[in-house]
A and B are shown apart, each in its own frame.
Chain A
Amino acid sequence: MEVTTAPAKPQFSAAAQAEIQRIIKRYPEDRKKSALLPLLHIAQAEFGGWVSPEVQDLVAETLGLKPIEVYEVSSFYTMFNLKPVGKHVLEICRTGPCMLRGSDELTENLERITGAKVGETSPDGMFTIKMVECLAACGFAPVVQVREKYYESLETPEAVDAMLTEL
């Protein structure tokens, strides 16, 4: 018989905890909730690129909030991944100006090269493709964001190759 144990409760690293304390001090003492979005970003970076319910509970506990106050926020904003993602998340801009400069073709190419479909993760777990809206880089279209980095003017196969090699 398989024995299932409850997953260990996630904990922030010491570095993250120090960062969190620094951030909380930016807001009035009775307005700690303001630190919620910055903390969700830290949590997502700490725990594998997504925020599981357990991780969200940890964020709630850290800020003295009810878990629901975190869930309703994490689900409103598109940057927080609520399910596991691949090693590299390719966020392709699909909005008008990028479409004018070839984001549809770029998306098809990236699907073919990575084996991941839009909104899904490739079978080898390496890539997730996520379509996003205007990234404020429209003059350098088409644009893909991977973690904190912008890859711009991906108009040629060479530019796409260069991006994938760098990952």
Chain B
Amino acid sequence: MGRKLLTEHINVEGIDTFEVYRKHGGYRSVEKALKTMTPDEVVEEVKKSGLRGRGGAGFPTGMKWSFLAKPEGVPRYLVCNADESEPGTFKDRQLMSKLPHLLIEGMITGSYALGARTSYIYIRGELLYVLRILEKAIAEAYAAGFLGENILGSGYSLDLHVHPGGGAYICGEETALLESLEGKRGNPRNKPPFPAVQGLYARPTVVNNVESIAAVPVIVNEGGDEYAKIGIGKSTGTKLISACGHLNKPGIYEIELGVPVEEFIYSDEYCGGIWKGRELKAVVAGGSSVPILPNELILKTAAGEPRLMTYESLSDGGFVTGTMLGSGGFIAMDETTCIVRNTWNFSRFYHHESCGQCSPCREGTGWLEKVLHRLEHGHGSLHDIDLLVSVAKQIEGNTICPLGEAAAWPVAAAVRHFRDEFEWHVKHPQEATRPGAVYPGKAVLA
């Protein structure tokens, strides 16, 4: 059994209350940091831990914290990204609703490290019920003296607020999130400047995912070096994996980074294999934005090494034969899954969610959806398959934010690994579009 650093107490009765959370060692990191450490010492521990951003990009958290600009007399902010909208990802909702105090504790310790006096948790608007859970927990933390003026007599003061979004995937992109928090449409900004220099209200801001912030208490309590002992190489610590699709036991698993993918899918400790006794066909390992891999390539790299749940192992082979760990949204598809339909579904999602600022993304996602729609519905041509690849190429690198690429890469990967199935839709439209039709062939291994 792997160590559970974040979720050890998740099933304890009443752990969502201050009292029970505190009894199980909660808020120790706030006491330790505020009473015995300087802010820079906290940043140093996070750096040593090797923690990488759990929102998907995997940028080292300690490094980001040390990049925060600190101009004299200008307020700085820590903003928690709780927008969680990446299809396949559902860990943050669970963490916040069951362990609200863990996030609050991380926000206090993190805000202290960064010198923020006001911090915000931006939560997707659909999760209003979780917002209420967080607000209740925040009120308890104020009452216990862990928030507000002069916390624990340390001289450090902090206000913490929760802010709801309004339903828009793009607001998970950190600069769109900041625009949204300012009461505007969620249009991403050009980077640089990074939020660390110019963020909320044009002031220095760190934006971090819920899970990244929730890892801070254990890092402060046990020390960065201890945390870094878990995992492999530059993939340190534990990661929450949201497992969904055709699995016997979908759900959220906290794994030590480094678990073999095969073990994660088939062992009873984790997903317990593919449902209905079927075979695995493909996996999208890191949320819908990452390339899909056929079963042979997700279990083993092109070189035949077992694929591990780490940033490095999953991206081994680049986009030709690899993928990405991303946000840890693990979507498994059984042998009956129609790859064309699935690819079309995701392309419809991205077209719907494009903010429309850049034409390659706005128009390109529209084209991808349209062409995939006709392929899926039996009106496509062989030329359409190449058209998909060409549209995907034209989006890549030509947009303000990575949503365009998130739409393009998975389509390119689907065509790369499952071209035969796309061609089958063109050559046998009647058979392919029959309800319940299952492609009889196999994936093309790149």
Q: Across the interface, do B331 and A97 meet the contact criterion of CB distance under 8 Å? A: yes
Q: Name the contact of A100 in the complex, choosing from B120, B183, B201, B246 (C-beta under 8 A).
A: B246
> How many residues on the B side are at the interface (Cβ–Cβ under 8 A)?
54
Interface residues as binary, A122-148 with B (CB distance below 8 Å gives 1, 0 otherwise): 000000000011111111110001001
Contact A132 B167, beta carbon cutoff 8 Å? yes
Flag if A133 contacts B87 (CB, 8 Å).
yes
Find chain A residues with CB under 8 A from B181 CB: 34
Asked if B201 contacts A28 (CB within 8 A), the reply is: yes
Tell whether A37 pairs with B183 under 8 Å between CB atoms, given A97-B331, A133-B87: yes
Considering the complex, which residues of chain A in the window 14-45 have a beta carbon less than 8 Å from any beta carbon of chain B?
A: 26, 28, 31, 33-38, 40-41
Q: Knowing A97-B244, A99-B342 touch, does A133 contact B85 (C-beta < 8 A)? A: yes
**Assuming A96-B288, A136-B85, is B165 touching A37 (CB within 8 A)?**
yes
B284 closest partner in A (C-beta)? A96
B266 to A: closest C-beta gap in Å: 17
CA distance A26 to B201 in the complex (A): 14
Most buried by B among A36, A99, A136: A136
Q: Which residues from chain A contact B342 at a C-beta distance below 8 Å?
A: 96, 99-100
A165 within 8 A of B: no
Chain A residues contacting B243 (CB-CB under 8 Å) are: 139
B168 touches A76 (CB 8 A): yes
B6-14, B121-129, B307-315, B423-431: which lies at the interface: B121-129
Complex interface residues of chain B between 163 and 187 (CB less than 8 A to chain A): 163-169, 180-186
Q: Mark A3-15, 1 if CB is under 8 A from B, else 0.
A: 0000000000000
Using A135-B126, A140-B250 as known contacts, say yes or no to A100 and B167 having CB atoms under 8 A apart: no
Chain A residues with Cβ below 8 Å from B128 are 41, 148
- Give chain A residues whose Cβ lies under 8 Å from the Cβ of B329: 138
Evaluate whether A136 and B84 lie within 8 angstroms (CB atoms) in the complex, with A31-B201, A37-B125, A78-B167 already known: yes
Contact of A79 among B129, B167, B246, B337 (CB under 8 A): B167
- Provide the residues of chain B in CB contact with A150, threshold 8 Å: 129
| Separation of A136 and B93 alpha carbons in the complex (Å) | 7
Q: Report yes or no: A96 in contact with B88, Cβ–Cβ below 8 A.
A: yes
Which A residues touch B185, using CB under 8 A? 72-73, 76
- A31 to B349, Cβ gap below 8 A? no
Q: Assess A33 versus B129: contact at CB under 8 Å? Given A28-B201, A139-B242.
A: no
Cβ distance B11 to chain A, nearest Cβ, rounded Å: 16
Contact residue among A69, A96, A101 (Cβ-Cβ distance under 8 Å from B345): A96
Evaluate contact between B182 and A138: CB separation under 8 angstroms: no
A103's closest neighbor in chain B, by CB?
B345
Beta-carbon contacts under 8 Å, A67-81 to B: 69, 72-74, 76-80
Interface status of B256 (Cβ within 8 A of chain A): no
- Indicate the size class of the contact surface on chain A: 35 or more
Residues A148 and B129 in contact in the complex (CB < 8 Å), given A96-B349, A139-B250, A141-B244: yes
Interface residues of A in 139-166 (CB under 8 A from B): 139-141, 145, 148-150
Q: By the criterion CB–CB under 8 Å, are B161 and A26 in contact?
A: yes
Does chain A have a CB within 8 A of B92?
A: yes
Are B331 and A96 touching (Cβ within 8 A)?
A: yes
- Contact A95-B345, Cβ < 8 Å, known A77-B125, A137-B90: yes
Give which listed residue, A73, A74, A139, A148, contacts B90 with CB less than 8 A: A139
Count chain B CB atoms within 10 A of each CB in A73, A135, A141 and give the residue with the most: A135
Q: How far is the CA of A139 from the CA of B169 in the complex (A)?
A: 18
Instruction: Assess whether B346 is interfacial by the CB under 8 Å rule.
Output: yes
Given A136-B124, A138-B329, A139-B244: A37 touches B180 (CB 8 Å cut-off): yes
From known contacts A95-B87, A136-B127, infer whether A31 and B169 are also in contact, taking CB-CB under 8 Å: no
Q: Considering the chains assembled together, what is the distance between the CA atoms of A74 and B126 in angstroms? A: 15
Q: Is the CB of B164 within 8 A of A38?
A: yes
Chain B residues with CB under 8 Å of A95's CB are 87, 288, 345-346, 349
Inter-chain contact A78/B349, CB cutoff 8 Å: no
User: Please, which residues of chain B bring their CB within 8 A of the CB of A38?
Assistant: 163-164
Q: Which chain B residue lies CB-closest to A93?
A: B87
Measured between C-beta atoms, what is the minimum distance from B281 to chain A in Å?
11
Contacts of A133 in B (CB 8 A): 85, 87, 169, 349, 352-353
Q: Do B184 and A138 touch (CB < 8 A)? A: no
User: Is residue B148 contacting chain A, with contact meaning CB distance below 8 A?
Assistant: no
User: Smallest CB-CB separation from A38: which chain B residue?
Assistant: B164
- Chain B residues with CB below 8 A from A149, complex form: 129
CA distance A69 to B182 in the complex (A): 12
Q: How far is the CB of B439 from chain A (nearest CB, A)?
A: 15
Whole-angstrom distance between the Cβ of B270 and the nearest chain A Cβ: 12
Q: Determine the residue in chain A with the shortest Cβ distance to B86.
A: A134
A136 touches B90 (CB 8 A): yes
Given the contacts A78-B166, A136-B124, A145-B126, A31 and B182 also touching, CB distance less than 8 Å: yes
Output the nearest chain B residue to A147 by Cβ-Cβ distance. Answer: B128
Q: Which of A54-98 contact B (CB under 8 A)?
A: 63, 69, 72-74, 76-80, 94-97
A100 touches B331 (CB 8 A): yes
Q: B79-101 CB contact bits vs A (8 Å, 1 = yes)?
A: 00000111111101100000000
A-B contact pairs, 22 of them (CB 8 A): A31-B183, A33-B182, A73-B166, A77-B125, A77-B166, A77-B186, A80-B167, A95-B288, A99-B341, A101-B244, A132-B167, A134-B169, A134-B349, A136-B85, A138-B87, A138-B89, A138-B250, A139-B90, A139-B252, A140-B90, A141-B244, A150-B129
Q: Which 3 A-B pairs have the closest CB atoms?
A: A77-B166, A79-B167, A33-B183
Beyond known contacts A77-B168, A99-B341, A136-B93: 13 more, CB 8 A cutoff: A26-B159, A34-B183, A36-B183, A77-B165, A79-B166, A80-B167, A96-B345, A97-B331, A101-B245, A134-B86, A136-B127, A139-B251, A145-B126
